[in-house]
A = this chain, B = another copy of it.
Amino acid sequence: MRPMFPGQTYTRVLVDLYVTSIVEVFEKEQRLSTQVKMITVWFDSNVLWNSYKFCQILTIAAPRNLFWRPDIVIAESVKTEIGTVESSYVQLVFFGYVVLPEVLSLNTVCKLNLYRFPFDTQSCNITIQSVAYSNVDLKLETLHDTGVLTNSSKQSFQSQGEWELLNISTSKSKVFLMFGYADQLIYQITIKRRPLLHVINIILPVFFFLVLDVTSYFIDTDGADKLSFKVTLLLAISVLLLILNDTLPSTTYELPLIGIYCSAIFSLIGISILETILVNFLRAKGAKILSASAAVTGQDDGVSGPPVDQDRDQKEFQIAMWWIKVARITDMMFLILYLLTIVVFLSVLGKVWYIH
């Protein structure tokens, strides 16, 4: 049944896996949808013939169901579909090899680490193994080496989508079946996200809102307009949170940096609104005392008040001025602190995010 090389008790199965397209990466479901081309080759001593004798025939196509076939499956697969209408033939090569080319639509589980989204690089495994044969019976090996695979995959890579194929590497492993081990061929596919549109849609606008918030310190009219300006910025970030919510799943132990970025800037603008309210409150307190004292002075206008009254006036004026001064200093101090926080926050974030 199971074909072997003469003098061997095991069957060598050679596998080649080319990634022809990254169809989609589902961040929310932690899945990867790929189109791969898998070529499985094994030795069958029944298909040996002398090509010199038989009109130089090197290969023959033969119906698939006449031959034994290894039960190769993909361990991470959630759904494996034949990409095209299934061919019902295998290719036989004169020196005893059976070649089975397949185009598969794979839907595999993959640990996606979105910590550095959208500047992330993901590594997904596609593990090929036999379900029922232990490695005593069936030995899995790669047909071509990694360099060839990566090159061929890159060449036939048919997508200009969000992901760039960086590398395909292979390694061998073993998995415990009931009574014995089975060979595993692990193809590690490394892909890199092209971040430009996410940068333009989220990171840049949010950053711009932060810059606008900082410059709003120089709005020198009364505080109310400043407030409505700032609260509109907050509203605009809320709108952009809708995009973030569409893009990102609630995942991973660590919060994605883009989440920290958005919510930190949201909080910063929020805090700066609180500060504006505080400064206005202080200023208003000063202004109130001032106007009250002015009113008193105004009332006493005709009659020259006693010097004691003038002293009190002076004192009140000083208190008012003190309030206004406190407001100004608070404002100044906050601005410096605010700028410092922003610089430190952004530089640390930038380092972790991009350079790392």
* A contacts, CB < 8 Å to B: 2, 9, 20-21, 23-24, 28-31, 33, 35, 39, 41, 55, 57-62, 71-85, 87-91, 93-94, 97, 99, 101, 103-105, 109-113, 118, 130-134, 136-137, 158-162, 177-180, 193-198, 200-201, 204-205, 208, 211-212, 215-216, 218-225, 227-229, 231-236, 238-253, 255-256, 259, 262-263, 266-267, 270, 273-274, 277-278, 280-281, 284-285, 288
Q: How many copies does the complex hold?
A: 5
Residues of B within 8 A of A242 (CB): 239, 242-243
Q: How many Å from the CB of A6 to the closest CB on chain B? A: 17
Q: Using A244-B201, A259-B200 as known contacts, say yes or no to A250 and B195 having CB atoms under 8 A apart.
A: yes
Chain B's closest residue to A288 (CB) is: B220
Q: How many Å from the CB of A126 to the closest CB on chain B? A: 11
Residues of B within 8 A of A101 (CB): 131-132, 177
Residues of B within 8 A of A134 (CB): 58-59, 91
Q: Bound state CA distance, A180 and B252, in angstroms?
A: 47
Task: Let me know if A208 and B84 touch, CB within 8 A.
Answer: no
Task: Let me know if B251 and A161 touch, CB within 8 A.
Answer: yes
Task: Let me know if B103 and A198 touch, CB within 8 A.
Answer: no
Interface on chain A toward B: helix, strand, loop, or mixed SS?
mixed
Residues of B within 8 A of A194 (CB): 250-253
What are 17 sample pairs from A and B whose C-beta atoms fall under 8 A apart?
Answer: A28-B161, A58-B179, A59-B180, A61-B133, A71-B89, A73-B103, A76-B158, A91-B132, A99-B132, A101-B132, A162-B250, A197-B255, A200-B259, A204-B266, A231-B233, A235-B236, A245-B247
Q: Bound state CA distance, A2 and B80, in angstroms?
A: 31
Q: How many Å from the CB of A4 to the closest CB on chain B? A: 13
Task: Let me know if A243 and B245 touch, CB within 8 A.
Answer: yes
Q: How many Å from the CB of A47 to the closest CB on chain B? A: 13
Q: How many Å from the CB of A350 to the closest CB on chain B? A: 19
Task: Let me know if B23 and A78 touch, CB within 8 A.
Answer: yes
Q: Bound state CA distance, A134 and B99, in angstroms?
A: 12
Residues of B within 8 A of A130 (CB): 61
Q: How many Å from the CB of A218 to the closest CB on chain B? A: 4
Q: How many Å from the CB of A144 to the closest CB on chain B? A: 12
Residues of B within 8 A of A239 (CB): 235, 238-239, 241-242
Which of A41, A101, A196, A204 has the most B CB atoms < 10 Å from its CB? A196
Task: Let me know if B224 and A227 touch, CB within 8 A.
Answer: no
Given A23-B78, A89-B131, 15 extra CB contacts under 8 A: A20-B109, A23-B30, A30-B160, A58-B179, A79-B105, A80-B85, A91-B133, A99-B177, A109-B159, A196-B259, A200-B262, A201-B241, A220-B281, A225-B225, A241-B243
